[in-house]
Amino acid sequence: PASSGWPHSLYNNFIQFVVELFSTAYRTDDSKPWVLPVVKKVEKVIVHDDTLNHEYLPILGLPEFRSSASKIALGDDSPAIQENRVGAVQCLGGTGALKMGAEFLRRFYNGNNNTTTPVYVSAPTWENHNAVFANAGFEDVRPYKYWDAEKRGLDLAGFLGDLESCPAHSIFVLHACAHNPTGTDPTQEQWKQIAEVMMRRKLFVFFDSAYQGFASGNLEKDAWAIRYFVSLGFEMFCAQSFSKNFGLYNERVGNLTVVARDADNLKRIMSQMEKIVRTTWSNPPSQGARIVAITLNSPELFSEWKGNVKTMADRVLLMRAQLKAKLQALGTPGTWDHITEQIGMFSFTGLNPKQVEYMIKEKHIYLMASGRINMCGLTTKNIDYVAESIHEAVTQVQ
């Protein structure tokens, strides 16, 4: 590291560290993927359970998965569930859930096959949002104001302005928590303002929940916005991914929650969903859904899983606190409070494209051109090096 006191020219001829900060997956303090201990345990249970087989699952998915007792997205006591107007489609990851929702909306929302209904995604957002909706046939995918680069936080006024001025019936994709890529979520008070306008203007809410548990370490807290919108009576979709919070990236486990006006509507929606799934992947895979369902349906395994999620969230929080402290100790120009104010896996550092290039070319620290870093790429071993490199980039490159 630069602090070793080596002559700079000499030191610069060696690659001290190669630091990968662009992925969207969790890494341990040894920069390794992590198989959650609870997942390992459940996988062994599955191997030894002779009642399980590899028959096709139903089109809409594994029943225990679709209805998991814990109901982690909406909450056990959700009136919408009690009123039988909530359905679920087991999907191929969060991406599959977004895709099934988008295909349904294009066919049946705001006039059949209406491809001109505007779909709004946050500026910036996970790049795939644009493409998933465009490929489902929507011709008008637009950004809504979200990130204020100047203050490195939420542009609430801009966001509310877009909600007020968009065409009626527009579809809005909202990140349920731990916004990718900015790490900036609305506060509960701000969500209330957003919901008020969306309700008044009859806009369609499509939540994307890819990081439940990662924002705060607490599942309930991270589902607050979803539950609040449901409590107001919105008809909506919620695409839920288990890739991150179960570490099941390659098993493709997702769930599309459908909240309908009433039980009758739900039945109609689910029957159309079945047709869309049938022509897309026929029936979903079982292994990942089994792992999730077994875990969520056992109080013991459920609490063990919550501990595993907290382990991941806590490591991210620790890296945030340390990175901010180190930059402040170095006297790096600018304010760095946003590092700890932002939540979830990602941080928008505020580094400009030239500074990012410096980090990559000179420091072998790989991050997104937008300045987004995955906090899990930081470890107790490389964090000094990364902080010193950010300091150099900020002080030497304008």
Ligand X SMILES: *[C@@H]1O[C@H](CO)[C@@H](O)[C@H](O)[C@H]1NC(C)=O
Q: Which positions touch ligand PLP (CB under 6 A)?
A: 24, 93-95, 126, 175, 180, 208, 210, 241, 243, 254
The residue whose two tokens read 């509507």 is 265
Kindly tell me which of 121 and 359 has the beta carbon lying closer to ligand X.
Answer: 121
Strand partners, 172: 120, 205
Q: Is the dihedral of CA 126, 342, 17, 246 positive or negative?
A: negative
Phi and psi torsions of 26, nearest 5°:
-75, 145
Kindly tell me which of 241 and 295 has the beta carbon lying closer to ligand PLP.
Answer: 241
Note if 281 is an active site residue. Answer: no
ω into 37 cis (within 30 of 0): no
Residue 73 sits in the site that holds ligand X (CB under 6 A): yes
Number of other CB atoms surrounding residue 398 within 10 Å:
7
- With CB under 6 A as the rule, give the number of residues binding ligand X: 24
Residue 107 sits in the site that holds ligand X (CB under 6 A): yes
* Residue 243 touches which member of ligand X, ligand PLP, none, C-beta under 5-8 Å by kind: ligand PLP
**Per the residue annotation, which of 99, 145, 244, 324 is the catalytic one?**
244
C-alpha span between 118 and 286 (Å, rounded): 35
The residue whose two tokens read 């809410």 is 205
* Residue 193 touches which member of ligand PLP, ligand X, none, C-beta under 5-8 Å by kind: none
Q: Helices (H), strands (E): how many in the chain?
A: 16, 13
C-alpha span between 349 and 334 (Å, rounded): 11
Contacts of 193 (CB under 8 A, 6+ apart): 156, 160
Binding region for ligand X (CB under 6 A) out of 39-47, 65-73, 172-180, 336-344: 65-73
**Per the residue annotation, which of 208, 306, 336, 363 is the catalytic one?**
208
| Nearest residue to ligand PLP, by Cβ distance, number only | 93
* Residue 86 touches which member of ligand X, ligand PLP, none, C-beta under 5-8 Å by kind: ligand X
Residues labelled catalytic: 126, 208, 244
Question: Which positions touch ligand X (CB under 6 A)?
Answer: 65-68, 71-74, 86, 88, 107, 110-114, 116-117, 167, 169, 255, 257, 292, 296
